[in-house]
Structure 1
Amino acid sequence: MHLRRAIPYLCPLALLAACTDEQRSDAGTGGGTGTSESNGSTSAVTGTSAGSGGTGASGSTAGSGGTGGSGGSGDVPPREPEEVSVLENITFYDGYAETVDEPIPPGVIRHNNSLVATRLTGELLAKVQTTLKVRVVVGALCDNYDRLGSVNLALVPKGAQTYVPGQVDRIEVARFVTPFMDMNKQPKTVPYEWEASNLVPILKDPDLLAEHDFWFELGIFGVPYAANDEVPGCAGRNDTQLGSLLLYTDSTREAQDFGVLLPLAISEEFNNYATGASDKVGTTRKTVSFELPADTQDAQLVLITSNHGANQGGEEYVRREHYVYVDGELALQYKPGRTSCEPFRKYNTQGNGIYGASPRSDKEWQSFSNWCPGDVIDTRIVPWGAASAGTHEFVIDVPDATFVGGEGNIPFSLYLQAR
C-alpha cells in the first residue's frame, strides 16, 4: 500500500472538551445526520447511535471499491465472528492537569491524561477478518459534563516502544460525545459503535506492516472540577472517565480493496477567527491540497466534523449547512443533527439544562441540537470515484457559521483511500 503524507502536518490539537465552562448548565446538544442532502451525491455514515432510535446508519461503505459477498469461497467454512478487547477499563484524568503517574495496564502507554494508546499485536491483527466494527464503552467517574472523545489509528515505525503523536501518521477513526453522568446513578456506562470495515485493507496491508506497527489510541477529555463539588464521592479526585475499546469482526462480506492511504488532517482547528484555521480569517472555508501518487480506479474521502461553541449563540446550538467539494465539484452537502436526542436521555444521569426535566419534541431538538450527549459523531465517507495522478483539492465550507465572540471550533479530520 502506498502511504503518503500529502500535506505538511500541523500539530494536532489536543482533544477538545465538548464543554469547558463549568459554570453553565446548558453544556451542549446534538448529533450528526445520516442523510446527505447534496445534488444526488451520497455518503455512508458509519456511526451507530448508542440508544435505540438513533439515526446514525450502520452498514457497508459507499464508494468503497469492495464487493459484496459472503467472504468465503469453495468448501472453506466461514470463520466465527469475534469480539476482541483492545483497551479495557482505562482510567482517564483531568485533561488540563499535568500527566499523572498512575498505574496503567501492561502494553498501554499514556500520552497525556486524556489520550492512551496500545500496539496491535500480530495475534490480534490475525483475528481481523473481512469486516470490522469499532466499539467504545465509557464509564462514569468524576466528570459529570458532556465531553469529546475519539478513536485514532497511528502508524508507528516498526518496533518502537512509544511515539510522539504529532510525529507519526495518524487517522481519526471515530468520534463521540459523553453524556452528563453521575457515577452514583445507573446506567453507569454508555456504549458506542461505528462501522469501520474500510480499516481492514489498512490493517492487512503487507507493505504497511513491513514498516509500521499499528497503535490504537483512545482519547476522552475530562475535567473533574464541577463533580468535585456536585457528585458525592468525588471531592478531591481527578479521575474523570473509564474507557474501553473493542473490535468486532466477521466474514459476512468480502474485504474492501484499497491500496493508497493519505492521512490529510486529524483534529485540526476549523473556524473563521483564528489564523490558519481556515483559508482566510472571516470565512469558514478550509482547503486541503493533496497528491495522488498514481491514477486510481476508485477513491473515497473519510471525513469527521463536529460543531462546538457553548457560549450564547454558539455553533453547537445552530444547525448549519456543510458543503464538501472535490476539485471544484460539490461532493456532499449535510446539516448535522439528530431527529431527536431523547434516545440518549437515559445515559444523562446528571441533571442538566440540555435535557431538562421532561422530554422535548422532535421540533425542539431540531431547533438547536448539533449532536447528542451520549451519542456518536458520524463518520462520513464521501465517494469520489476514478481520479488521475497529480494534485487535487478538497474544500469544506460552512458559509453561515458565525462563531459568536470568537469562540467555538469545528475539529476537522480527513483521510483518503484509493485503489
Structure 2
Amino acid sequence: MSLRRVPPCVYLLALLAACTNSQGADDGTGTTTTETTDGPESTGTDAPTGTTGDPTTTEPPTGTTDVGSTTGPDEPPPEPESFPVLQDIVFYDGYAATVDEPIPEGVLRHSNALVATRFTDEMLAKVQTTLTLGVIVGALCDNYDRLGSVNLALVPKGAQTYVPAEVDRIEVARFITPFMDMNKHPMTVPYEWQASDLVPIFKDPDLLAEYDFWFELSIFGVPYAANNEVAGCADRNDTQLGTLLLYTDSKKPAPDFGVLVPVAISQDFNNYTEGASDELGTTRKTVTFELPADTADAQLVLITSNHGANAGGEEYIRREHYVYVDGEMVLQYKPGRPSCEPFRPYNTQPNGIYGPYPQSDEDWQSFSNWCPGDVIDTRIIPWGAASAGTHEFVIDVPDATFVDMQGNFPFSLYVQAQ
C-alpha cells in the first residue's frame, strides 16, 4: 500500500455485554444507532429500538477482494475473533496537567484525554477480512456529554513512543458520551462501528515493513461539575473509563484498497478562527491531497460533528453540509437522528437535553445534531476512478453562524484508493 502524507456481530455484542457487566451496569443494549443518509455508507450500527433490523444479525460491509485470507477453497474459514485492544483505561481532567497515575503496561498516556497502544503482531494475526470496532465508556467523575474518538497512528517501525502531531494518523470513529452519574445504572454505554476498510491497511506489506500501527482512544472530560453534583466525586479528577474492542471474521471479502492518503484529523472548522476556514466569516474549508497514481476506484472517509452549546449554538441547529471533490458535489447531508429517545437510559444525570418525559421525533429533529450516548457517523463517500496528481476537497456549511464566536465542527478526512 502506498502512503502519502498530507498535513455487528454476535461475538462483539457478547464481548461488549461481558465488559459492560464487569463494570456493574445492568442495562446495556450492545450497539448505537446510525443516521440515515442517502448515498454514502455510514458505519454505525442500528440500536435494538431502530427500524432497520436486529443488530445481532448485522454483518460487516461487503468489499471486493479477499485480503489476507489464509484458507484454501476447501478449507473452513477460521473462527471469529473478539478481543480487547485497550481495557479499563482511566481518563482524567482534560484541562489539567498530565497525571502520573498507573496505566497498564504497553499503554502510552499522551495526555489526560488521549492514550495509545501498539497493535501487536499477535493482534494483527487475528484480523481476518471483516472488522467491527467497539468502545465502552464507563462513568466516573464527569457527568456531562463529551467528545471521544478512536484514531489509528502510523508510527515508525520499532518506536517505543511517538508524538501524535509528528506521525500520520486517521480518525476511524467518533462518539458522544451521555450525561452519566457514576452512582446510577447503567454505569456504562457501548458503541459500535463497522471498520472493515481498515483491513487492507493492516494487511499491507509495504506499510507493515515501515510502520507499527498504534490505536489511540481519546475521551475528553472535565470533573468540575461532578465534584459538586455527584456523590463520591469531591476533589477527584478522574472523568471516564474507556475500553476498545475488536471483532473480526471471514464472512465477507475485504475491501480492495492499496493507497492510503491521510488528509486531516480533528482540524478546526468554523468561521471565526484564522485558518479554520478558507476565509473569516465563511464556513467553507478547502484542502488538497495527492494521489500517487491513477486509480480505478477510490473513496473518501469523512467525520464531522457540530458543537456549540451556547444560546443559538451550532449543536442545536441542523445545517445542510455540502461536499465537493474537484468542483463536483459528491455528498449533501444534514446531521441529526430521527430521535434521541433510544439513548435516554444512558443519560442518568439530569440535564437540559433529556427532560423528565419522552419527546416526539419532531421535537428531537427541531434541535439535536447528535444524541448524548450515540456514535457520530463515519461517512464513506464513493469517488470512483481518479487520476494521479493533486485533487481538491471542499466542505461547505453556508448557513452556519457560530453565535458569539463559539462552537466548532471538528473535521477529519482520509482517502483510500485501489
Which TM-score applies when normalising by structure 2? Answer: 0.90
Distance 1:211 1:54, change over 3 A: farther
Give RMSD over aligned pairs. 2.0
Confirm or deny: 8 A CA contact 1:120 1:216 kept in the other structure.
Answer: yes
Shift, 1:391, TM fit: 1.1
Shift, 1:390, TM fit: 1.0
Are 1:180 and 2:179 counterparts? yes
Aligned to 2:353: 354
Q: Equivalents in 1 of 2:310, 2:59: separation in Å?
A: 36
Are 1:48 and 2:45 counterparts? yes
Aligned to 1:117: 116
Q: Equivalents in 2 of 1:51, 1:167: separation in Å?
A: 41
Aligned runs of 1:11-410 on 2, under 5 Å?
33-36=35-38, 42-49=39-46, 52-53=49-50, 61=61, 66=65, 73-410=72-409
Partner secondary structure for residue 394 of structure 1:
strand
Runs of 4+ in 1 over 3 A off after TM superposition: 49-52, 54-62, 64-68, 70-73
Partner secondary structure for residue 382 of structure 1:
strand
Shift, 1:51, TM fit: 6.1
Partner secondary structure for residue 202 of structure 1:
helix
Q: Equivalents in 1 of 2:218, 2:48: separation in Å?
A: 21
Confirm or deny: 8 A CA contact 2:299 2:382 kept in the other structure.
Answer: yes
Aligned letter for 1:2? S
Aligned letter for 2:41? A
Shift, 1:52, TM fit: 3.2
- For residues 330-354 of structure 1, the C-alpha deviation after alignment (integer angstroms, 9 at most, x for no partner) is 1011000000000000000001110
- For residues 350-385 of structure 1, the C-alpha deviation after alignment (integer angstroms, 9 at most, x for no partner) is 011101000000000000000000000000000000
Which TM-score applies when normalising by structure 1? Answer: 0.90
Q: Equivalents in 1 of 2:109, 2:366: separation in Å?
A: 39
Aligned letter for 1:392? H
Q: Equivalents in 1 of 2:102, 2:47: separation in Å?
A: 30
Confirm or deny: 8 A CA contact 1:50 1:190 kept in the other structure.
Answer: no
Count of matched residue pairs: 390
Aligned to 1:23: none
Shift, 1:55, TM fit: 7.6
Aligned letter for 1:364? D
Confirm or deny: 8 A CA contact 1:61 1:381 kept in the other structure.
Answer: no
Q: Equivalents in 2 of 1:55, 1:401: separation in Å?
A: 31
Confirm or deny: 8 A CA contact 2:92 2:99 kept in the other structure.
Answer: yes
Identical amino acids, percent of aligned pairs: 75
Partner secondary structure for residue 210 of structure 1:
helix
Confirm or deny: 8 A CA contact 2:263 2:414 kept in the other structure.
Answer: yes
Aligned to 1:3: 3
Aligned letter for 1:358? Y
Distance 1:405 1:152, change over 3 A: same
Shift, 1:241, TM fit: 0.3
Q: Equivalents in 2 of 1:221, 1:48: separation in Å?
A: 23
Aligned letter for 1:123? E
Partner secondary structure for residue 350 of structure 1:
coil
Shift, 1:73, TM fit: 4.8
Aligned letter for 1:45? S
Confirm or deny: 8 A CA contact 1:34 1:378 kept in the other structure.
Answer: no
Aligned letter for 1:203? F
Partner secondary structure for residue 47 of structure 1:
coil
Aligned letter for 1:285? R
Confirm or deny: 8 A CA contact 2:64 2:254 kept in the other structure.
Answer: no
Partner secondary structure for residue 101 of structure 2:
coil
Distance 1:268 1:32, change over 3 A: farther
Partner secondary structure for residue 131 of structure 2:
strand
Confirm or deny: 8 A CA contact 1:32 1:370 kept in the other structure.
Answer: no
Shift, 1:53, TM fit: 2.3
Partner secondary structure for residue 163 of structure 1:
coil
Q: Equivalents in 2 of 1:32, 1:124: separation in Å?
A: 28
Confirm or deny: 8 A CA contact 2:80 2:248 kept in the other structure.
Answer: yes
Aligned letter for 2:112? N
Confirm or deny: 8 A CA contact 2:2 2:260 kept in the other structure.
Answer: yes
Shift, 1:59, TM fit: 5.9
Does 1 or 2 have the higher relative contact order (CA < 8 Å, sep 6+)?
A: 1
